[in-house]
A and B are shown apart, each in its own frame.
Chain A
Amino acid sequence: MGNASFWRSGAFRTAMLSGVLFVGMTVVLLALVYQVATSTIEHQISASVEARARTLEQALEEDDDVEELSHIVPAQEELFRYVENAEGKALIADLVPRQHLMGADVLSADQVLHHFVEGERLDDSGIIGFGMQSRNGGYVYVAQEDEQVSELREALLQAGLVATGLAILLSFLLGWWIALRTFRRIEGLNSVAANVMGGDMAQRMPVSARRDEIDLLSAQLNRMLAQLESVMGAIRQVTNDIAHDMRTPLGRLQRKLEQAQVKDDPDAVNALVSSALDESRTMLDMFGSMLRIAQIEGGGLQKHFVRFDLSAMLMDLAETYRPAIADGGRELVANIQSGIEVFGDRALVQQMFSNLVDNAAVHTPRGTIVRVTLERRGNDWMAKVADTGPGIDPEHRPQIFDRFYRADASRTTRGSGLGLALVKAVAEAHEWDISIANGGGLALEIRPVK
């Protein structure tokens, strides 16, 4: 992981930030415990010395007998008493204040040296004391060493240091581990993305069984990649198709123009030029169809959709085609139920059905019957354009909607190979399903997707 980007990664930064927060909170918490614990003990000691001081003061009021006083509050380790009678004479003096301290005090070792005359019992610890004037003019001061408090302080400090150290270490390790794990997974996504950019569209993001947000993201990206892969495949296919299918007519066009260039007979030149013009028209038609298909597949047609009478359109279409189909030695039979309305783009739906009829009328032998059917199916409808021609081999059936697919491999009949591709694009734009029905010739059925 000698990777500088790891230390800059958001995961590592987040982990470190939360580590710092965690440690900070540990310190604050320990400080609180420290504060509460020490002040509680200080209060207890303070209360106990005050009680003793008051006891001594009462005893002093009655009698200034040393024995008696010493008996009431006996000498104890860590306990200091100072009792002075009304005449200013020290009766008990475990320690000697330089002046009369009043009320409760918490004094540090330094303050003790400042306020008290040095004595053998005074070591370098602080004291908690209470001083008061007795009613008969005497003075009482009782203090206790704060050794208990300082021991507790020390213990708490030690525990706090250990706990903080542990917290720092743990949060760093945990943060580092989480960051590393996240970083590695992101690295995984990165390297897949780099490979995809490098051209390997088959690569997919790793998805673990955890189903966490990164997995959801990966799964989503994988769906996107699959979509992209199929789109790129389609684009590559179309590009190849165009390159291949445009070369042929372009080659013919060039040949005809070259021939026209060397011919002297004006009639022959004219014939070649008009034939060349036909070629260029065919190519322009192909480009036009390609663009139109691309546009339909691009979507956004719905804003032009209107409700219209499909029955009337197909009846009219049948009358439009009937004479031309009859002249071509075929027959058109229309079987159209009236009053069926659809929601769609009129011009495109018209072109779709025209293409289907054209297809049945051009790519079939003479004597073929072309049937145009429109009927109700429950709440929906079904339209069918069928012919009694030779049909399509089952193995080629899935290809008939591909751009430039032509059943006639020699490509001698007229057509761009785009008619059915456009039909499919229009059907899909309307959310209609188009399928090949079984039967003698080619029969294509269109119906709304359930």
Chain B
Amino acid sequence: MKILVAEDDHETAQFVANGLRELGHVVDATGDGREAFMMAGSEPYDVLVLDRMLPRMDGLAIIRGLRSMETMTPALFLTALDGVSDRVDGLEAGGDDYLVKPFAFSELAARVMALGRRPRQTANAQTELAAGGLKMDLLARTVTRDGKPITLQPQEFRLLEFLLNNAGQIVTRTMLLEGVWGFHFDPATSIVETHISRLRSKLDDGFDQSAIRTVRGAGYIIDG
């Protein structure tokens, strides 16, 4: 993927850019807001990684500007602000995801991948999701694995739907907390692990291979 990283803290910018290059992406980096806006407006990037506070033009203004020019490149905000309203402001301006500093690189990488693969606003929402032998009918709310029907609780269904939507990509614990349960904090109780384990035992019953793979130190993945 071609990724633009706009971050004025040199060390963070290097850390992010080098990490993404190691994963095989093409990365342009800049520390200046206006330059980032010009680059994002003229070159076809797959994902933008924008710091909220940039010299000359801040992240929110860049996104507003791009969206008004119909440039819909998915954007991830990086920020040191974890205010209740900061996240809302970022998403309202047209950002697609939000990551609070300091963050683990694996978290950033997983989110960038998820954004890059996101289907571009398909008008007709999908009614069926499928990956690795799993099939999910979103209208009938049924799930099968290799044709065998599996009964799921509503929250287990939501969890599997999120994983299937991101099939082939690592999904982190934080992404699940935000995407499935709407938690923007880390609860003391291990709710993600428990739900994954319950979902797994239902999906894997009678199968040799686990449908959901754990990627140590990173998250979970359903291979596509």
Residues on A lying within 8 angstroms of B by beta carbon are: 284-285, 288, 291-292, 295-296, 301, 303-304, 316, 319-321, 323-325, 327-328, 345-348, 350-351, 354, 357-359, 361-362, 414-415, 419
Contact = CB atoms under 8 A, between A and B. Distances in A.
Interface stretch (B28-36, B110-118, B179-187): B179-187
Contact of B189 (A303, A328, A350): A328
Contact of B198 (A321, A323, A361, A362): A323
Interface in B181-224: 181-191, 193-195, 198
Given A321-B191, A351-B185, A354-B185, A295 B155 contact: no
A382 to B, nearest CB: 24
A284 B195 CA distance: 26
B24 interface: no
Contacts of B190: 324
B84 A319 contact: no
A325 to B, nearest CB: 7
A362 B83 contact: no
Interface in B64-105: 82-85, 88, 100, 102
A292 B186 CA distance: 13
B121 interface: no
Contacts of B186: 285
B187 A296 contact: no
A309 to B, nearest CB: 14
B188 A323 contact: no
Contact of A320 (B84, B184, B191): B191
Given A301-B85, A319-B153, A325-B189, 5 more contacts: A284-B102, A296-B84, A320-B181, A350-B182, A415-B188
A284 B102 CA distance: 8
B154 interface: yes
Contact of B82 (A291, A324, A362): A291
B183 A350 contact: yes
A304 B82 contact: no
B155 A319 contact: yes
A350 B178 CA distance: 12
Nearest to A325: B189
A301 B82 contact: no
A362 B88 contact: no
Contact of A361 (B83, B189, B193): B189
B151 to A, nearest CB: 15
Contacts of B191: 320-321, 323-324
Nearest to B184: A347
Contacts of A346: 182
Contact of A414 (B102, B182, B188, B198): B188
A323 B194 contact: yes
A303 B198 CA distance: 39
Contacts of B188: 358-359, 361-362, 414-415, 419
Contact of B83 (A284, A295, A320): A295
Contacts of A291: 82
Interface of B: 82-85, 88, 100, 102, 153-155, 181-191, 193-195, 198
27 contacts: A288-B82, A288-B100, A292-B84, A295-B84, A304-B84, A316-B155, A319-B153, A319-B155, A320-B155, A321-B189, A323-B194, A323-B198, A324-B190, A324-B193, A324-B194, A325-B189, A328-B189, A347-B84, A347-B182, A350-B182, A357-B189, A358-B188, A358-B189, A359-B188, A361-B188, A415-B188, A419-B188
Nearest to A285: B186
A323 B202 CA distance: 14
Contacts of B183: 350-351, 354
Contacts of B82: 288, 291-292
B187 A354 contact: yes
Nearest to A296: B84
Contacts of B85: 301, 303-304
A354 B173 CA distance: 17
Nearest to A422: B185
A316 B181 CA distance: 9
A301 B189 contact: no
A348 B84 contact: yes
A328 B194 CA distance: 10
Given A288-B82, A295-B84, A320-B155, A327 B185 contact: no
Contacts of A316: 155
Contact of A301 (B84, B155, B184, B198): B84
A359 B188 CA distance: 8
A316 B182 CA distance: 11
Contacts of A354: 183, 185, 187
A361 B190 CA distance: 11
B152 to A, nearest CB: 12
Contacts of A325: 189
Contact of A319 (B100, B102, B154, B184): B154
A422 to B, nearest CB: 9
Nearest to B88: A304
B195 to A, nearest CB: 6
Contact of B187 (A319, A328, A347, A358): A358
A273 B103 CA distance: 17
Give the interface centre of B153, B183, B189, B198 by most chain A CB atoms within 10 Å.
Answer: B189
Contacts of B198: 323
A450 B187 CA distance: 31
Top 6 closest pairs, chain A to chain B, by CB: A324-B194, A358-B188, A323-B194, A324-B189, A324-B191, A362-B188
B38 to A, nearest CB: 33
